[in-house]
Amino acid sequence: MHDDRTLTEERLDRALRERIRPAVHPRTAPLEFEVWHAPGEPVPFAEAVAGRYEPGALGDAWGPAWGTSWFRVTGRVPAEWAGEIVEVVIDLGFARDRPGFSAEALAHRPDGSVVKALNPRNTWLRIGEPVAGGEEFTYYLEAAANPEILDGVSALGDRETAGSEPLYRVERMDVAVFDRQVWELVQDLEVLDQLMRQLPLGSARRWEILRAVEGCLDALDLDAVGASASAARERLRPVLSSPAHASAHRLSAVGHAHIDSAWLWPLRETVRKVTRTTSNVVALMDDHPEFVFAMSQAQQLDWLREHQPALYARVKEKAAAGQFVPVGGMWVESDTNMPGSEALARQFVYGKRFFLEEFGVETEEVWLPDSFGYSAALPQLVALSGSRWFLTQKISWNTTNPFPHHSFLWEGLDGTRVFTHFPPVDTYVAELSGAELAHAERNFREKGHATRSLVPFGWGDGGGGPTREMLARAGRLADLEGSPRVTIERPADFFAAAEAEYDRPPVWLGELYLELHRGTYTSQARTKQGNRRSEHLLREAELWAATAAVRTGFPYPYEELERIWKSVLLHQFHDILPGSSIAWVHREAEATYARIAEELEAVIEAAQRALAGAPDGGGTVVFNSAPHDRAGVVAGGAAPASGQPERAVEAEACDGGFRLDNGLLRVTVDARGLVVSVVDLVAGRETVAPGRAANLLQVHPDLPNRWDAWDVDAFYRNTVTDLTEADVVRRSGDGVEVVRTFGSSRVTQLLTLRPGARRLDIDTEVDWHEQEKFLKAAFPIDVRADHSTAETQFGHVRRPTHTNTSWEAAKFEICAHRFLHVGEPGWGAALINDSTYGHDVTRAVREDGSTTTTVRLSLLRAPRYPDPATDQGVHRLRYALLPGATIGDAVREGWQFGLPERRVPGSAVVAPLVSVDHDAVVVTAVKLADDGSGDVVVRLHEAHGGRASARLTTGFPLAGARVTDLLERPLAEESAEMAGDAVRLRLRPFQIMTLRLTPNDDV
């Protein structure tokens, strides 16, 4: 038999492209339309409908970047179309390969009710099925001119720089007959064509499909496609009805629309994207009762509730029917590397509570397909939130080491294990194409042990969601020979079945490090500073407001704190906090953080003044919001300022530089302004490696191969410029000021020792005007460390400093919160910081056999995409070197560095609401219970990595104590052991515990 395969495949391609797909709408009539270009920001429907509309024509330009144009579309169904299915077909200039990224529109009826959205892959509005003929109709289209900012340097990322030129032209405005038989034929042929091309050339099934397609095309009259479509489909029926093999992989298809809460568009546009996507979804559900759609991110549904209450009511109806499924259990799909401990816990608190209160749903699956790596703290938080399962896809993006599992148990810091799934389809925006499904089956790493995987399908990133074509594919692929079996079902059904069939799943211990997007630990420093500052201020506001409420009757600001928390959590979304959004997003974030700081400072001041007592005596009360005692003030308490002097810091000139000495450390700064010696006087040990200099600023070129703001590639380290020339090295008070200029930038540093402190503080101001450069601060430490220890949420994570395997080598840039520690038995050193997350650690053996371990902080980057002006301007960065530090020292100093004492006029002693008698037990939150009961809620954890037995004592009469989950609900399996006004604690390493303490109001 001659091989005519290519001939038939090419024949099918052309027939679909030129004859069959166009015949889906065989008869058309043009529509009339008018347009009103809204000035400024989007307006509500009532304002838009009253606009002054001008007649429009095909080819008209519309939409300057970020603008909104309203189209009033009117038409009449031709009388001769009676009995037909009729649709409006609209193309506003859509980019076909960019669903959700460019021009999009939302269709309204004249009464303002939402119909559905229009986007590049969803261009239709159904008029009737069938029509009577003669129907008149009017639609108002709210069209968003979102620019495409998909690569390269672009000024379009901010309305202030985008310009006023229109971006799009109206391409089509028709009313058309919809030929269902032709549409079904298209779906038949596309499914078979995609499947056929994935089967081996030697497969009998491939040739069977080819011959059926050939027969179909022979039966199709290309001049009368509609009339011959049914006969052509009959030729395909035998191959479409052949069932899948008994061993075929089982795919649970879950409708989805990944919607980035901000990215290449601002937050306000995401609000509209959510409306557009959910309107599409509920419209599909009306026609397809089998369709199930999962939506994460409580914030997005809350936006829908606020801005589109009628549509939100429809969503709730579909949720009650089991079609619309809330998932995720978090306020947003946040980054999980950089949010602080309490913030990551609150992602679950506010997300889970929203779904419970609004939908009556206890979400059990944590849904994070696109975050840039996953903290080792997550499994415990997942369990403590009342969830059971975890899903992500992003680890499939690893560039060095393919992850070895698709279904497994993920074990966190404390030993908690969570059943976890990576969809082997390797995408969270699947079309259910033949290539995707074949890849999922081939790629699935649990073969022989498990048979199931999940595939999220629907256009995403910019939203859009599933289409009727995707549902048609799912129906045909439910039981089709040569393909995995596809079943549309709820995520919980998949997880329950997948967990049940896998008796002994493998275990992965520790963080899920993404071998990509490492630059997100550093990009957009102001956003990261705003986040850290907000987290600290929220801790203080809750602590002092709760203390004042219990002690003085101060009105606890429940609603204000919840609103601020939700704003901070929103900005931890995985393209905001990581610094990978357009300029508009980060400009707004900076302004938001400033407002948050102002509000929280007001709360803190009011609460502290209520506690400090009368200021008439001229005294000062020192408040300590850190979780450890310091300078005579207990953790979480306050006391009158002590007049007791501390040992003075000596500062003297030395060999063109200066020497600082506070009796604990002796620091030498040379004439270049570099730290060449830091002697730990307590241990009698030098910190800086011989012949090296610490606090050495280094600049690298930084042009990654692909995603500028996201990535740093390992080759950046091949070229480095050490900043060793100083313009100024001079004494400044008890410290040393160093000024350097380089490139187009200037850096001013103040190096100080505080009396009684075992740390060298470095306050750095950088006026940064470099492009595609990476600024690091290096500390070569004379210590042999085979691992580093970095703070993460509710504990710390150890990472090797060597590169024995490709897994270790890939971690050339790592994330740490307040500290990063390196040490050997008996002595170590830590770097602490106030807002820096990116670090790297390398080691080298010197000629004498000793080891230098170099720790570097990643201070600033200057990527040009998607924000061409990333991080340009003035930054203040604070960090400190802590010689002779244990892990406990690093924990304590890290907290105190970011939570400085506050001084308030007054004379009162403020006893803490709670105190703990064990240094390893860190209290991360003290607040009043969210239900307004007046109970005091305390969240704490073991922070050193060992077991801890401790006693928590309350500063108020205690009537009861309960151990709760993150949502402050009692845990039946755990009880609190009370002893008077105290609770006995027994914690395993890194265990998180939430206590709900009920005051005894009768005492």
Could you tell me which residues come within 8 angstroms of residue 924 by beta carbon, excluding any fewer than 6 positions away? 341, 342, 345, 539, 627, 794, 939, 940, 941
Q: How confident is the model over 335-359, as pLDDT tens digits?
A: 999 999 999 999 999 999 999 999 9
Other CB atoms within 10 Å distance of the CB of residue 317 = 13
The average pLDDT across 945-965 equals 97
The average pLDDT across 600-613 equals 97
Please identify every residue annotated as catalytic: 370
The residues facing 254 across adjacent strands are 456
Q: How confident is the model over 789-831, as pLDDT tens digits?
A: 999 999 999 999 999 999 999 999 999 999 999 999 999 999 9
Question: What residue ranges in 801-946 does DSSP mark as E strands?
Answer: 814-815, 819-824, 827-833, 838-845, 851-861, 873-883, 902-905, 914-916, 921-928, 936-942
- pLDDT above 90 coverage of the chain, percent: 95
Q: How confident is the model over 517-541, as pLDDT tens digits?
A: 999 999 999 999 999 999 999 999 9
If we measure between CA atoms, which residue out of 556, 536, 649 comes closest to residue 603?
Answer: 556
User: CA 597, CA 603: separation in Å to the nearest integer?
Assistant: 10
pLDDT at residue 280, as a whole number: 97
Question: Does the structure show a pLDDT above 90 at 644?
Answer: no
pLDDT at residue 354, as a whole number: 98
The average pLDDT across 357-362 equals 97
The alpha-helical segments, DSSP class H, found in 254-384 are: 267-287, 298-307, 309-320, 341-359, 378-384
Give the tokens for residue 133: 């003929």
CA distances from 144 to 276, 581, 735 (A): 11, 19, 55
Could you tell me which residues come within 8 angstroms of residue 172 by beta carbon, excluding any fewer than 6 positions away? 58, 89, 90, 91, 123
Tally of helices (H runs) and strands (E runs) in the chain: 18, 53
The average pLDDT across 470-489 equals 98
pLDDT at residue 549, as a whole number: 98
pLDDT at residue 1, as a whole number: 58
Parallel, antiparallel or unpaired: strands 921-928 and 936-942: antiparallel
DSSP state of 644: P
Question: Does the structure show a pLDDT above 90 at 653?
Answer: no
Q: How confident is the model over 748-790, as pLDDT tens digits?
A: 999 999 999 999 999 999 999 999 999 999 999 999 999 999 9
User: CA 477, CA 487: separation in Å to the nearest integer?
Assistant: 8
The average pLDDT across 65-91 equals 98
Phi, psi of 416 (to 5 degrees): -65, 135
pLDDT at residue 847, as a whole number: 95
Question: Does the structure show a pLDDT above 80 at 286?
Answer: yes
The alpha-helical segments, DSSP class H, found in 72-203 are: 180-198
- Whether residue 386 contacts residue 408, with contact meaning beta carbons closer than 8 Å, is answered with no
- Whether residue 109 contacts residue 115, with contact meaning beta carbons closer than 8 Å, is answered with yes
Crossing angle of helices 525-552/558-570, nearest 10°?
160
Query: What confidence tier does 645 reach under pLDDT thresholds 50, 70, 90?
Result: low
CA distances from 319 to 90, 307, 328, 330, 368 (A): 30, 19, 15, 18, 21
Question: Does the structure show a pLDDT above 80 at 643?
Answer: no
Map tokens 């470099």 to a residue. 770
- Whether residue 510 contacts residue 792, with contact meaning beta carbons closer than 8 Å, is answered with no
Query: What confidence tier does 922 reach under pLDDT thresholds 50, 70, 90?
Result: very high
- Whether residue 475 contacts residue 450, with contact meaning beta carbons closer than 8 Å, is answered with no
Give the tokens for residue 588: 């707004």
The pTM assigned to this predicted structure is 0.97
Question: Does the structure show a pLDDT above 80 at 617?
Answer: no
Question: Does the structure show a pLDDT above 70 at 846?
Answer: yes
The average pLDDT across 393-418 equals 97
Give the tokens for residue 621: 């009360």
Map tokens 């595939």 to a residue. 455
Query: What confidence tier does 991 reach under pLDDT thresholds 50, 70, 90?
Result: very high
Q: How confident is the model over 677-687, as pLDDT tens digits?
A: 999 999 999 99
User: CA 689, CA 676: separation in Å to the nearest integer?
Assistant: 9
Residues for the chain: how many in total?
1003
pLDDT at residue 647, as a whole number: 65
3-state secondary structure of 933: coil
Q: Letter for the amino acid at 649?
A: V
Could you tell me which residues come within 8 angstroms of residue 317 by beta carbon, excluding any fewer than 6 positions away? none
Parallel, antiparallel or unpaired: strands 166-169 and 407-411: unpaired
Question: Does the structure show a pLDDT above 90 at 411?
Answer: yes
User: CA 202, CA 145: separation in Å to the nearest integer?
Assistant: 49
Question: Does the structure show a pLDDT above 80 at 39?
Answer: yes
Q: How confident is the model over 541-570, as pLDDT tens digits?
A: 999 999 999 999 999 999 999 999 999 999
Q: How confident is the model over 222-281, as pLDDT tens digits?
A: 999 999 999 999 999 999 999 999 999 999 999 999 999 999 999 999 999 999 999 999
CA 736 to chain CA mean position, Å: 40
Q: How confident is the model over 429-472, as pLDDT tens digits?
A: 999 999 999 999 999 999 999 999 999 999 999 999 999 999 99
Q: What is the mean pLDDT of the chain?
A: 96
Q: How confident is the model over 849-889, as pLDDT tens digits?
A: 999 999 999 999 999 999 999 999 999 999 999 999 999 99
User: CA 656, CA 576: separation in Å to the nearest integer?
Assistant: 45
pLDDT at residue 693, as a whole number: 98
Query: What confidence tier does 53 reach under pLDDT thresholds 50, 70, 90?
Result: very high
DSSP state of 729: E
